[in-house]
Amino acid sequence: MRQAMSVSSQAQTIPRTMAAMQLTGHGGVDKLVYREDVATPRPGPGEVLVRVTATAKNNTDRKAREGLYPTKEKGDVTSFQIGGAPTLTFPRIQGADVAGRVVAVGEGVDANRIGERGLLDFNLYPDERRDLNLAPDYYGHGADGGFAEYVAVPSAQFHCVDNPALADAQLASMGMCSYQTALHMLTSAKVKAGEHILVSGASGGVGSALIQLCRILGAIPYALSQPDKAQALRELGAAAVLDRSDMAGFTDRVRELTGGKPIDAVMDLLGGEMTDHFIDSMIFDMPQRSSYPRLSIAGASSGNESEIMWTRIYLYQVQIFGVSHGTREEAEQLIEWIRDGQLKPVLHAAFKLSELHQAEDYFVNRSSNFLGKIVIVPDAQWSEHGAPFALPVSA
């Protein structure tokens, strides 16, 4: 039986301990340990305590767990340390994109927030800047996140989203790790209405966000994906879908689809050997262009190294933008678009928190029709927030 605690200035009684999935070190899924006796966090000054109803999974959970963020020596097992020192310490509760309800507030936060349903802006911002984020880090990495029953986060970053039509699991699936990254990729490349944009990794969390955001900005997204997913991607907003398993005639297919115009900007989530093909799609007919070719890079699902001739970059004046997360302004803009229904959830399935290991396996060995996000729901919240989105029993 769990003990209860009373937190000052709160209307509700919060249990002293909670269920959580703790990451105990770099390595395989065996490093994830489910416990029911983890101390429930208390909200500090300026924070709210959120009872988690759903937290989306991101690729970064796996990459951080496996230590796949080397920036100096190839093969280093390491994670984000952009601010100078590693911030991932163990045990750590992962899970960046949290939806839930405010159940308590810390000093300086209006108690009227208690009861609000909201979505977390997952960033651990390095400073108060609204238009710049120079040292990206996040809840679930540098501080505990949402693979738990409760999480304490800054009140200013837990944004109320009370649309009744949007279930909590769907709200979590629209979390900032994917959507803010996608928006920052587009804003970095100064994507404009009417431009032809190539979206790689199109069926994933960031890719499906990119397709929708292109449409909001008035740009025309071309999805690079797999044939099984083509119809769903067109329904999401893709003008056409190119098969990533057949890159031999890639530029010719782009030419056919665009009526001979080069792609204006590429959103590269793949890297590896794919990036050179992406450059081809932008430079095959330079006189037809009205702006520089632009390449936004935010992921490396196909490979962390690409061999590209420097002459291709500078002679064709390809502008390259490295993107990690985004800014407070972008997060707030996205929340507005979620509130007014301009963005749609792309939710593949929900799993119980105690079954995160199975969810990780499912995510890595995904079927060819997998689209969008997986969310993790605390076991105690399962019947209300998870069960409606569970996989069919035969899956």
Q: Which residues bind ligand NAP (CB under 6 A)?
A: 58-60, 63, 177-178, 181, 201-207, 225-226, 229, 244, 269-270, 298-302, 323-325
**Type of residue found at 72:** K
Nearest CA to 104 out of 176, 16, 2 is that of 16
Residue 320 and residue 188 in contact, taking contact as beta carbons nearer than 8 Å = no
Q: Which is nearer to ligand NAP, 144 or 330 (CB)?
A: 330
Q: Which is nearer to ligand NAP, 154 or 207 (CB)?
A: 207
CA distance 63 to 78: 9
Smallest gap from Cβ 120 to ligand NAP, in A, equals 15
Nearest CA to 291 out of 257, 310, 263 is that of 263
Smallest gap from Cβ 8 to ligand NAP, in A, equals 36
- How far is Cα of residue 325 from the mean position of the Cα atoms in its chain? 9
Distances (CA, A) of 23 to 61, 287, 321, 350: 10, 53, 32, 20
Smallest gap from Cβ 227 to ligand NAP, in A, equals 10
Smallest gap from Cβ 178 to ligand NAP, in A, equals 5
Smallest gap from Cβ 217 to ligand NAP, in A, equals 19
- How far is Cα of residue 19 from the mean position of the Cα atoms in its chain? 24
Distances (CA, A) of 182 to 23, 103, 233, 294, 366: 27, 31, 16, 15, 22
CA distance 297 to 290: 22
Q: Which is nearer to ligand NAP, 9 or 301 (CB)?
A: 301
Residue 94 and residue 64 in contact, taking contact as beta carbons nearer than 8 Å = yes
Smallest gap from Cβ 96 to ligand NAP, in A, equals 9
Smallest gap from Cβ 119 to ligand NAP, in A, equals 16
CA distance 320 to 330: 20
Nearest residue by C-beta to ligand NAP? 204
Q: Which is nearer to ligand NAP, 148 or 242 (CB)?
A: 242
CA distance 41 to 133: 26
Q: Which is nearer to ligand NAP, 55 or 381 (CB)?
A: 55
Q: Which is nearer to ligand NAP, 60 or 281 (CB)?
A: 60
| CA contacts within 13 A on the Cβ side of 38 | 22
Smallest gap from Cβ 289 to ligand NAP, in A, equals 26
Q: Which is nearer to ligand NAP, 40 or 208 (CB)?
A: 208
Q: Which is nearer to ligand NAP, 40 or 87 (CB)?
A: 87
Quickly list DSSP for 220-251: EEEEEE-GGGHHHHHHHT-SEEEETT--TTHH
Smallest gap from Cβ 201 to ligand NAP, in A, equals 3
Angle between helices 274-283 and 250-258 (to 10 degrees): 40
Q: Which is nearer to ligand NAP, 10 or 170 (CB)?
A: 170
